[in-house]
A = this chain, B = another copy of it.
C-alpha cells in the first residue's frame, strides 16, 4: 500500500487523482454511481483511478461527503430514553435488532443520539435537539410515547425520518413502520366469535396512543361485522370486584386485553375464582418484552418488533434515494404495516354457556 501521507493524515481524493494522473473530479465520478452514468468516465481512466484507489487504500471521508451534499451512510437512531439500561433496553432491544440488521445489510452506520436523551421521554423539539439529527442522513425514531409537537416539527423539516410504530398528527403525513394491530385484533376477535363467544369486551389503557387506537378499531370492526356491540374498559380497577361484576352483568364470556394489562387481568380473574379459559377467555393483544418467558400460554398475537425496526430503516433509506431524482415522493411508501402473528394459546376456549348448550343439544340428539 502506497501511503501518500504519513501519520494520521488520511488519503484523499486529491492524492488518488495525483497518482492516477487525473483530476480530483474524475476520482469522485468514478466513485459515485450517478456520476458514472452521467459522465461516463472512460474505461481506461477508470481503471487507472481504481488502481490508484487500490494502491493507496483510499476510503472516502464521510464527513466531507456529507458536507458537500452527498450522503454519509450515517443514519440516526433517536430513542426517547437511554437504550442500554436493561430496563429500557428490553423495550428497545428487539426493534433495534431489526434496525441494526438492516443497517449492516445496507452498509450504513448508526448514530445513537445519546446526548439529547436527557429529556427522558419528553418531546424532542425542546432545545436544539432537532437540528442535531442532521448529523445523519436521516433518522429512525422510537419510544413508548408519542409527542404530536415532534411529529409536526419533524414534518416541516424536509429531513428523512421514520417512526417505529404508527404515529399520526393532524395535517401531516408521518412516515412509520408499524404493526398491523388493527387486523391482528380483528383476527383474534373473530377467533373468539367462531368459538361461540358473543359478548366480548376489550380492556384498554389511557392516555390514548396510536397503537392502542389501532387495536380498538380492529376490535370494533370485527364486533360490528358480527352484529355485536363493542364494549371497551379503559384502565379498569381490577382489584375491586367492579370490573368482573360488569363483565358478568353484560354476560361477557371473553375479553381482549392490551398486553400491559394482560397479566393483571389474568391474575385478577383467578383471584375472583374464575377459571381461564373455562369461565372466561382472555386474549392478549401483543406480547410484552420477551425477558422472562410467561408461564401462561397466551392466546393472542405477537408484535413483529424486529421487522418493524428493519422496515423503519428501509423507509428512511427509501426517502434518501428518492430525493435524488427530485420527484414527488409517493406517500404510500412512507407508511408500512407489518402483520402480526396470531396464536391460539390455552387462555381461550368456547364460552361456558355455549359449550353447555351445544353439549346438551348434541347429547339429546344422540
Contact = CB atoms under 8 A, between A and B. Distances in A.
B100 A84 contact: yes
Contacts of A159: 8
A157 B103 contact: no
A67 B104 CA distance: 25
A10 interface: yes
A226 interface: no
Contacts of A135: 62-63, 72, 74, 109
A72 B100 CA distance: 23
Interface in A60-115: 61-64, 66-67, 72-74, 77, 82-86, 89, 93-94, 96-97, 99-101, 103-104, 106-115
Given A82-B100, A111-B111, A63 B59 contact: no
Interface of A: 7-8, 10, 57-59, 61-64, 66-67, 72-74, 77, 82-86, 89, 93-94, 96-97, 99-101, 103-104, 106-115, 117-118, 128, 131-132, 134-135, 157-159
Given A109-B112, A109-B113, A110-B114, 18 more contacts: A7-B158, A8-B157, A8-B158, A62-B135, A63-B63, A72-B135, A82-B97, A83-B96, A84-B99, A84-B100, A85-B97, A86-B93, A103-B114, A104-B118, A108-B114, A108-B115, A109-B135, A110-B112
17 contacts: A8-B157, A59-B128, A61-B134, A63-B66, A64-B67, A77-B112, A82-B104, A84-B99, A85-B97, A86-B93, A86-B97, A89-B89, A89-B97, A108-B115, A109-B113, A109-B115, A111-B111
